[in-house]
Amino acid sequence: LPTRVIDVGPSDGSQEPFLSITNGKEGSWIALSHCWGEYQPLRTTVATEKILKRKITHLPPTFQDAVTITRALGIRYLWIDALCILQDSQCDWAAESSQMGRIYEEAFLTLQLDTIDSSVNLLGPRETKDIWLEVPFMMQSQGCKGNLYLGTEATNVTSSFVNSRAWTLQEFLLSPRTLVLNASGFIWSCRSL
């Protein structure tokens, strides 16, 4: 595991997420790739680290979406740069940023948020334009059902907003499996030889 991760708790959501120091512990994690935009409402600093180790409240909607997906996939840990690197410590930032290649390469999955606005909920209802196939699905074990929509709009990962930024393009290229979330839906990308 990376040095710090967000422990999202069990998949039933019975525990609030908190910042965890891993001390060399092993496990699977999901990495979040996103553009910060002009304002980052929540970040870990030397002053806030102790508080966030107890409980992380008031996550922006995009981070809440990442927690929801991590739990739904049965993964316990989530890595978000804004929360897992001390943003006001040059020493910590240098040490942790040097590990980012490994963090994305070894992540179980990378969630890439194709938006610059952290206040947008990407798991909510969305427009269904250019749909050419609708497939009903049901997951009895999770108690959910709905429809999967396949269309032409959400098929080109390389033209997404985040891939116009060097950091997020690098994170996409390093990740073996990426789920891109945007206003149109989800895009699955799997690196192959």
The number of domains in the chain is: 1
| Inside any domain, residue 117 | yes
- Its domain, for residue 14, covers 4-122+155-190
- Report the mean per-residue pLDDT for the chain: 82
- CA angle (11 as vertex; 135, 183 as ends), nearest 5: 45
Residue entry with tokens 């910590």: 92
Using alpha carbons only, how large is the chain's radius of gyration in Å? 17
Residue 193: pLDDT band by 50, 70, 90 thresholds? very low
121-152 pLDDT per residue, tens:
777 766 666 666 667 777 666 666 776 666 65
- pTM here is 0.81
| Inside any domain, residue 167 | yes
C-alpha torsion angle, residues 122, 124, 127, 128 (rounded to 10): 100
| Inside any domain, residue 107 | yes
Residue 25: pLDDT band by 50, 70, 90 thresholds? very high
**Nearest of 33, 178, 179 to residue 116 by alpha carbon:** 33
- The H or E element containing residue 94 is helix 90-97
| Inside any domain, residue 130 | no
